[in-house]
Amino acid sequence: MYEDMPEDRINKFYEKLKKDAEAGGYQLNPDTNFTKKLVKGLLVNQDRYSYQACPCRISSGVKDEDLDIICPCDYRDSDLEEYGTCYCALYVSQDVLNGKKELVSIPDRRLTEKEKIKQKESKIEITSSLKYPIWRCKVCGYLCARDGPPEICPICKAKKDRFEKFL
């Protein structure tokens, strides 16, 4: 299935992701064969679900349930920090790129993180005395103080729905 996706479309999207990644201080996995499979996976998911769900996780097909795993997922930065790679190994750290750290298949932190969030939500909400609430981009960690989150994250270009109220 999806065998007939044009090479050209995959290559173009690969180049775009690579450029965006590098502009933001990230690196794609230098194993282009491997990486292009993931890039194709993202396009397949775009076509079948209409959002770019993580190619290595099972998607529900319902965007609201999968917001956290729209690529780049909410877990990319933590995984890059801890393991030097995102869960799929589409993005890798400088150490992996330089061969200082070995690239291996890592556990999915999605479930444990989701449990943590649930626990947090069940706690009483702290009332803030700030003039403006603080919004946090779950993709890159960008913070801003304003009435609502921006339409698009000025740092990583993630959409509004990837923001959480932070304070």
Partner 1 sequence: MELIFELVKGKNKGDIKLYALSTCAWCEKTKDLLKELGIEFKFIYVDLLQGDTKQYAIDEVRKYNKNCSFPTLVINNDKTIVGFKATEIKEALS
Site of interaction with ligand SF4 (CB under 6 A): 38, 54, 56, 69, 71-73, 76, 86-88, 90-91
Please name the amino acid found at residue 164.
E
- Burial, 39: exposed, middle or buried (Cβ in 10 Å; 0-12, 13-18, 19+)? buried
Q: How far is the CB of 111 from partner 1 (least distance, A)?
A: 5
Residue 72 partner contact from ligand SF4, partner 1, none using kind-dependent CB cut-offs of 5 to 8 Å = ligand SF4
Alpha-carbon distance 98 to 139, whole Å?
A: 24
Q: Which residues pair with 163 in a beta bridge?
A: 137
Q: Quick one: which of 56, 67, 134, 155 contacts partner 1 (CB under 8 A)? A: 56
Q: CB of 95: closest distance to partner 1 in angstroms? A: 20
Q: How far apart are CA 52 and CA 93, in angstroms?
A: 22
52 sits near partner 1 (criterion: CB under 8 A):
no
Quote the CA–CA distance of 61 and 12 in Å, as a whole number. 25
CB of 56 to partner 1, least distance (A): 4
Binding partner at 28 among ligand SF4, partner 1, none, C-beta below 5 to 8 Å by kind: none
**From ligand SF4, partner 1, none, interface partner of 91 (C-beta below 5 to 8 A by class):** ligand SF4
Can the peptide bond before residue 149 be classed as cis, meaning omega within 30 degrees of 0? no
Amino acid at 58: I
3-state secondary structure at position 109: coil
> According to the binding rule CB under 8 A, does residue 89 interact with partner 1?
yes
- The angle that helices 32-49 and 7-23 make with each other, rounded to 10 degrees, is 100
State the binding string over 100-139 for partner 1 (x if CB under 8 A, else -).
-----xxxx-xx----------------------------
The single residue among 17, 28, 51, 55 that binds partner 1, judged by CB under 8 A, is 55
